[in-house]
Structure 1
Amino acid sequence: MSGADELDEAVALANGAAHGARRGDGREAPEGGETPRPRSGDAASGTGRGAGNRTDRESGSQTRDVPGSADGSGAGSGTDGGPRGGSPAPSPDDGDELAAPDWVTPRSARGGGHRSGRTAGEAPSHARDAPWPDARTHAARAAGPLPSLALPLDQALDHTLGAPLDALTDLPSFDTSAMDGWAVSGPGPWSLADDATGTGILAGDTSEPRPLPDGRAIPIATGARIPPGASAVLRSEYGESEGGRLRTTRRPQPGTDIRPRGQECRSGDRLLPAGTRVTPAVLGLAAAAGYDRLTVTRRPRAEVLVLGDELLHRGVPHGGRIRDALGPAVAPWLSALGAEVIVTRRLGDDAEALHEAVATTTADLLVTTGGTARGPVDHLRPTLARVGARLLVEGVRVRPGHPMLLARLPERQEPGTGGGPLLVGLPGNPLAAVSGLVTLAAPLIRALGDRPAEREVFARITEDVQGHPRDTRLVPVAFAPAASRARPLHFNGPAMLRGVATATALAVVPPGGASSGSDVQVLPLPWFAW
């Protein structure tokens, strides 16, 4: 049995065990200090609608209102996956699913080979109520790298190299002076060369320097070509010219302050492998090596669909409506993860507008906020069934954020797209949506963008953290990497953003909780440089 087969079998067994352990009423046990919610997730406010979910996106990508939504502004379920209008929450085992869950699925959705040497993955089977680590694995294996393209250097930042970076020339391409001073020949004393007038040899001088005879010196600038016959460079602070002679108290050893040709690399040397993230330093190296364009993996194009008529997109909440907190947050979060966000669209609770957006998207990734439950105005699941999408992950054993989902839309006809677009359905409660971003969107964007796998980071928790009896919890923390400590933050309920707004990471708290002083995995937030 291959490693991939063993992983899928383990996931299927874990999923089966999870179903056997599910409570009959589909509700979670209460967490300490948090309001219990239906498994499908009713609102933290107890109204069947979440509080403080999403607002329109102001920067980085276009924001567009869609006609037909309430006053042109409403979108999203506003729940952590719960039904709308207060109707009872069905169990995740109830019907009303997409076309039959395929527990054993053809393993062909990942697409072409991985250019950084990793084996191309295989499409995971439908994982329902998946353990949190398995859900992240499913998301990482749901897609392969997008096609490569050549971009000018000024457009390649934050992409991933789609081909190795090999030197096009020796670096440096000629012997060059590392300091301002004098090029000298021999052990000295030295007299100034006959042509040692004015500024001497300057960087960028295209004329061929004359040979320097033994016992002679000539002024030279940093980066200038070393003349034939020169044995060293005497720094300007160590010498003084007087009466046509060069006086010094320090005699440089042969080769001092000369950068020999090819010191950094020879033409054809492998500088960086495919799969390397293009940072400012990588751009500098590529330019020095002679590149005008880089072959990079295309970043996934993402589109954000904000759902729900209860949302306001400006002003103070009033009249039973709430401000959209996710519209302004999700698109920049996706950008920080490596996606190129095309547009944020506010669709309200308009089933036809949602169907049109999903069926006609040109993006590689759709991210929806709210509407992941089965309430009367939760149109996401019926829309996915209508367009013939296939669920890959349906519910994750994580709090908050259990009702998140991952689906693949039908394959597009354009060549080189590597399969149909993917859709990540985020719950409507803000912290639950953040949970969906780090659980499903982050590993998926890494796979699409051919980014290196995220390394696991652990820290010592400084306080007891109560856990869920069955599920993983994601808790905002102040993470101090130098001390490897993580301090839990307050305001960590599913409808809250106050805690994560001051956090630098999310702590992964296992079922049962974590005691003070124990080590837990932490997920640094994408903008936290540590």
Structure 2
Amino acid sequence: MSAPPRLAPLEEARALLPTAPVAPRRLPLDRAIDHVLAAPLRAPGPLPPAPVALREGWAVASALTEGAGPYAPLPLPGLAWVVPGEALPPGTDAVLPPFALEDGAVLEPVAPGEGVRLAGELAAAGAELRPAGHLLAPADLLLAAAGIAAVEVRVPRIALRGAGLLAALVRAEGAEVVEAAPDLVLAVGATPDPLLLPAIATRPGEGLAVGRLDGAPALLLPAEPEAMLAGWWLLARPALRALAGRAPPPRQRMRLARKIASPIGFTELVALGADGAPAPPLGLVAALLTVPAGREGYEAGTEVEVEAP
């Protein structure tokens, strides 16, 4: 009768999975959405490059409106109409509201810069607009207004073998699902060759293993959804974030509503609800608590550090 496989610590398993970011790839801005910036994104010049209108109205030289009023209209014909975001014509420095001009005469004065966004007001040349490791979102398409047409991103290539359930999670981390030449394989029901760690001391986690498949590092995941997600959170997601050059999920403090008991020697992942109690099966998960292998758990009322699911 063969002896059961050695239960490897979680840290040993993580060390066998990717820890270095993949090479950057330059993509058009619209195709880079949902991928991770490889380097800080900086303003190519002052933003805006010239004064622009913040409101609809008439572009004027403010000095020419001094003394204007309802009872002392000041003739100022030939003014140019501007809309928000439009560059001011040369020689103008303010936007007169629509109601302040009647029959070509100004009815009120405006101060220099009124109704105007000045050159460089949003960002100086070279200012950091987005940090490295930022996951680009649809709102980042606004960067096109700064003249940014393409960006350098890191796009990990992940192969799924029987783990299609995780495809959406893989894409949410800025990676892409591929069939060939992966950086990492996530597999269910496949045996890595070679099998480097056949068992890992995590709970849930029976069936978690690390090896190689398709010439790439591979994480073998359990088929049971709860254990599969535990393997994703404890091992797969950290590996994907390392490949993308992305920081770990943000951490926060939460007070436990109930006692958490955990066996010594196992790293345990506990899904918590918003009330600080363990989330029931199919319940909403508000936070994830990782109990280290050296702890027997936490008493009710303990404030612990958790991360977003």
After superposition, where does 1:236-385 map in structure 2 within 5 Å? Answer: 236=98, 239-248=99-108, 251-285=109-143, 287-297=144-154, 299-306=155-162, 327=163, 329-342=165-178, 361-370=180-189, 380=191, 383-385=192-194
Aligned counterpart for 1:147 among listed residues 13, 16, 23: 23
What's the offset of the Cα at 1:443? 0.8
Q: Contact 1:139–1:444 at 8 Å: present in 2 too? A: no
Residues 422-455 of structure 1 deviation map (CA, whole Å, 9 limit, x = unaligned): 1011123321111111111011101111112333
Which structure dedicates a bigger proportion of its chain to strand? Answer: 2
What's the offset of the Cα at 1:509? 3.6
Matched, 1:234 2:96: yes
Counterpart in 1 of 2:278?
Answer: 488
Q: Contact 1:136–1:443 at 8 Å: present in 2 too? A: no
Structure 1 counterpart SS, 2:262: coil
Residues 233-267 of structure 1 deviation map (CA, whole Å, 9 limit, x = unaligned): 2333xx4333432223xx43322222122222344
Mapped partners of 1:364, 1:259: distance in 2: 46
Q: Contact 2:37–2:131 at 8 Å: present in 1 too? A: yes
Counterpart in 2 of 1:195?
Answer: 78
Residues 473-516 of structure 1 deviation map (CA, whole Å, 9 limit, x = unaligned): 2222223xxxxx5231223xxxxxx34xx323333245322222
AA matched with 2:152: T
Structure 1 counterpart SS, 2:270: strand
Matched, 1:92 2:5: yes
5+ residue gaps, structure 2:
none
What's the offset of the Cα at 1:399? 1.0
Matched, 1:397 2:197: no
Residues 176-216 of structure 1 deviation map (CA, whole Å, 9 limit, x = unaligned): 111112333322316343324xxx33xxxxxxxxxxxxxxx
Mapped partners of 1:331, 1:280: distance in 2: 20
- In structure 2, relative to structure 1, the CA distance for the partners of 1:89 and 1:245 (3 Å cut) is farther
Mapped partners of 1:136, 1:91: distance in 2: 18
Counterpart in 2 of 1:518?
Answer: 302
What's the offset of the Cα at 1:290? 1.2
AA matched with 2:285: A
Counterpart in 1 of 2:248?
Answer: 453
RMSD of equivalent CA atoms:
2.8
Counterpart in 1 of 2:83?
Answer: 221
Aligned counterpart for 1:505 among listed residues 278, 287, 292: 287
Mapped partners of 1:522, 1:370: distance in 2: 31
AA matched with 1:329: L
TM-score by length of 1: 0.51
TM-score by length of 2: 0.84
Aligned residues: 300
Matched, 1:470 2:265: yes
Residues 33-74 of structure 1 deviation map (CA, whole Å, 9 limit, x = unaligned): xxxxxxxxxxxxxxxxxxxxxxxxxxxxxxxxxxxxxxxxxx
Structure 1 counterpart SS, 2:39: coil
Structure 2 counterpart SS, 1:182: strand
- In structure 2, relative to structure 1, the CA distance for the partners of 1:435 and 1:302 (3 Å cut) is same
Structure 1 counterpart SS, 2:193: helix
